Structure 1
Amino acid sequence: MNRPLPTPPAPALPPHAVSRLRTARLARASKPFRARGGSDVPRCAGCRLVVSHCLCAVRPVVGTRAGVCLIMADIEALKPSNTGWLIADVVADTFAFGWARTAVDPALLTLLADPQWQPYVVFPGEFVAAERVVTDVEPVPGKRPLFILLDATWPEARKMFRKSPYLDKLPVLSLASDQISRYKLRRSRRDDHFCTSEVAALCLDLAGEPHAAQTLEAYLDVFTHHYLRAKSQLPVQWEGKAHLQLRGLAHSS
């Protein structure tokens, strides 16, 4: 059953880390960014979807002990299909930095040195020296886990990993999952290549935060539904499976 967009609209929320990074990147652009297959239809500043399919009214808020640090390839924050944005919607302690081969944001180095955090670079262990690889998130007294995600295409992420010496001394969390990616907005040749928000959900689960992980997974499904329905010029199914699951998780928190 379809119904109109929720009313009243969701209250405006302050811009999160990915939103601020996107604004800064747009300010440096020499010409307007145009997503692949994009159009000039007005988009919501809060969720990047076309206004008719705005997602802001159902944005979930989940308290987490863990944090997420996104190191993003140059135009990743500009893409409407980017799912790092969803992580920042859900996880309050999400940090976002643009990546460059020749420079590193001093604020990123400050974050990595902050004694409240235990950073983990999330990357496949097969590409890393065995002594750096961990497969679980062990509690560290006085520290909170901080998951560092390289938000980029796979070729870009490998380059970023190799050419970021400030990450070299950090443990590498290698994820093992028998799940198949549910991400439908960009093509991948492999079912075990997860989008950024799926990786974050796996990390949150490892950190003992299953409710946050499940919420992020459900929120991705809702975002995907809105995105694809807008692309096909079809109305949102507000009482469909994805929305009901997200709503149920909100009520169980």
Structure 2
Amino acid sequence: MRIHKVHQLYKERLARSTKPFNARGANVNRCEFCQVHQDYCICEYQPEATSQAAFLLIMFDTEVLKPSNTGKLIADLIPETHAYLWSRTEPNADMLALLQDDSYQPFVIFPEEQIENKALVTNDIVVEEGKTPLFILLDGSWREAGRMYRKSTYLHQLPVLSFNRDHLSSYIMRKASKDHQLSTVEVASLVLGLFGEKENARHLECWFELFREHYLYSKRPVKGAERGMGLKRLIDFRTELKVNNEI
């Protein structure tokens, strides 16, 4: 399987721990990569895709250690996904250099209502010729993400991509969600769709669905349980994608 930046960050953060990180389900025998129960590991189905986009995950301190974290699913699909731990006082030098790299065009993905300077907010992705869009996701709880943005002055002059209610309502209707607080991977799927990479957006949705399904098995493993609709939909999508690419 392909080892990516979130896997590496997970190992680095784990090595720094002075005591075990006891998240819910800490006693489950998990795969070290996909973080679901070993009996329901999804690593053999890891996606292969190409993308004209890059993502930057700025992760709250313990977020990368949580088995339920969905940021890793973005890195599973999108080859150029960077990941760094957030620090209020000592932001990573490599991360700051990435944000200042002229070959990228950064967009912070964040709710408009929490942005004071509305002039920074856009609902469209317009990329200068020759540049790669760098979509920045603050990966943590909604409260943590708000704090991360407020305390990170290096983000305050960057364009903010915010989804209007039409985008959210359409997505939520398809996902049968009860509120507008989407997970990190769901937001990334929305971003890819808006950017025009519809196939990657759908692929990421299917990958998330498989992870979510097998993660539930991790919480309550059932001996001999058959894999369900998540795997079927992923396989059906990849079959459809292969056929379309051969036409």
Q: Do the two structures share a fold, i.e. TM-score over 0.5? A: yes
The question of whether the paired residues in 1 share the 8 Å contact of 2:37 and 2:217 is answered with no
Distance between the aligned counterparts of 1:243 and 1:36, measured in 2? Answer: 25
Give the % identical residues: 42
The question of whether the paired residues in 2 share the 8 Å contact of 1:67 and 1:91 is answered with yes
| Residue identity opposite 2:217 in structure 1 | R
Change (3 A) 1:223 1:32: same
The answer to whether residue 58 in structure 2 is matched with residue 66 in structure 1 is no
Give the drift of 1:112.
0.8
The answer to whether residue 167 in structure 2 is matched with residue 180 in structure 1 is no
Q: Which runs of 4+ in 1 moved over 3 A?
A: 181-184, 235-238
| CA deviation map 1:82-105 (0-9, x unaligned) | 000111111110000100111100
- Other-structure match for 1:97: 84
Alignment partner of 2:188: what SS?
Answer: helix
Question: What are the equivalent positions in structure 2 for 1:22-61 lying under 5 Å apart?
Answer: 22-39=10-27, 41-61=28-48
| CA deviation map 1:112-141 (0-9, x unaligned) | 112221100000111211100000101311
Distance between the aligned counterparts of 1:156 and 1:72, measured in 2? Answer: 10
Gaps of 5+ in 1: 1-11, 185-189
The question of whether the paired residues in 1 share the 8 Å contact of 2:108 and 2:159 is answered with yes
- Other-structure match for 1:157: 145
- Other-structure match for 2:245: none
Question: What are the equivalent positions in structure 2 for 1:141-220 lying under 5 Å apart?
Answer: 141-176=129-164, 177-178=168-169, 179-180=171-172, 182=175, 191-220=179-208
Give the drift of 1:38.
2.4
Distance between the aligned counterparts of 1:225 and 1:92, measured in 2? Answer: 24
Distance between the aligned counterparts of 2:215 and 2:176, measured in 1? Answer: 12
Higher helix share: 2
Alignment partner of 1:180: what SS?
Answer: helix
Give the drift of 1:193.
0.2
Give the drift of 1:165.
0.7
* Count of matched residue positions in the alignment of Structure 1 and Structure 2: 234
Give the drift of 1:236.
5.0
Gaps of 5+ in 2: 243-247
Alignment partner of 2:135: what SS?
Answer: strand
